[in-house]
Amino acid sequence: MNHEPTVFDKIINREIPAEIVYEDEHCLAFKDINPQAPVHILVIPKKPIVSLAEIDEQDAPLMGHLLVVLSKIARQVGLESGYRTVLNTGPDGGQEVNHLHFHLLGKRSMKWPPG
Ligand code: 5GP
């Protein structure tokens, strides 16, 4: 299902600025505007998928690609001692932007369970 354009579409289309750290044909990664850790990067598909709740089998290669990109970025920014990846889904999941995105958080010790 396609979605209403979000702030992330504007970042993809370079209509608003972002600190982009990685881009390829399928995805974009940029620094979160309100970082919750010393490293806080968002990795998003260019395809306008609202959330994890909307994906189906045809999105499997894309979702796998996003994870590979996350792993590569984590290595590039020096997160050898670990990091947290977060994928908030829907209102109860704490999702605020309706364009699927992984958070990559690092350079601090994370707690469990998350809030
Ligand atoms: P969610 O709560 O939907 O999982 O996360 C949305 C994230 O997008 C938040 O961490 C928020 O700080 C970030 N964000 C919202 N608007 C912008 C923006 O315009 N630019 C950037 N770089 N990040 C944004």
Predicted TM-score (pTM) above 0.75: yes
Q: Whose alpha carbon is nearest atom 18 of ligand 1?
A: 33
Q: What is the tens place of the pLDDT at every residue in 42-82?
A: 999 999 999 999 999 999 999 999 999 999 999 999 999 99
| Domain spanning 7-106: CATH superfamily | HIT-like (3.30.428.10)
- What token pair was written down for 73? 């970025």
Residue 30 Cα to ligand 1 midpoint, Å, equals 10
Give the distance (Å) from ligand 1 centre to CA of residue 97: 7
Parse the chain into domains and list their residue ranges: 7-106
Q: What is the 3-state secondary structure (H, E, C) of the chain?
A: CCCCCCHHHHHHCCCCCCCEEEECCCEEEEECCCCCCCEEEEEEECCCCCCHHHCCHHHHHHHHHHHHHHHHHHHHCCCCCCEEEECCCCCCCCCCCCCCCEEEEECCCCCCCCC
